[in-house]
Amino acid sequence: SQTIHQWPATLVQPVGSPLSLECTVEGTSNPNLYWYRQAAGRGLQLLFYSVGIGQISSEVPQNLSASRPQDRQFILSSKKLLLSDSGFYLCAWSPGAAEAFFGQGTRLTVV
Amino acid sequence: GQQLNQSPQSMFIQEGEDVSMNCTSSSIFNTWLWYKQDPGEGPVLLIALYKAGELTSNGRLTAQFGITRKDSFLNISASIPSDVGIYFCAGQLSGYALNFGKGTSLLVTP
């Protein structure tokens, strides 16, 4: 069966520091991969999605970037964090263009 | 992405009551999904709907894909305390991105 791993679960980083969040999927090949951010107050905002290695689409211009160095690995990065980058970051995968399955999330607090 | 309007924003009910929430959009969708999120966790897929008019159940949960393809509802029958959480609808027209509603927060008192 397919599983998705996302880490770390929580992270406290100072303003201006770099960020790297990692997500991996097991049990499937060539999944679609997504990064979402959920701010306090619940809405899920799509940040990036990828349909293949090296293929990244950005939905919202911001201080973040994403990379997909391997088929089942998706990384969210920032060179310099802002206070506004705080939030709950969720990685998700889908077998095609329909259902998405989410990881456990990373709670990022920028101080 | 397309705007989804999910209502109600929150519900406070007693155990055993039935619950109904819905989602509407100004645009049509080909797929409607319903998720539940517990605090500090990622959303978990409850029900997926692929055809207009489709009615699907998952235990005490029932969801329908509206005929107009612009709406969907989720019903929970005989609520129990573990139903507490935030319920999200999500719709997809084409491409690869889901559009999410802002969620319905459900509280169940024993």
Condensed to tens digits (0 to 9), the pLDDT of residues B77-109 reads: 999 999 999 999 999 877 667 889 999 999 999
Q: Each residue of A47-100: pLDDT tens digit?
A: 999 999 999 998 886 789 999 999 999 999 999 999 999 999 999 999 876 789
Rounded to the nearest 5°, which phi and psi values hold at B57?
Answer: -115, 150
User: Cα(first)–Cα(last) distance of chain A, in Å?
Assistant: 38
Chosen for mutation from B38, B56, B96 (greatest number of chain A CBs closer than 10 Å) is: B96
A56 touches chain B (CB under 8 A): no
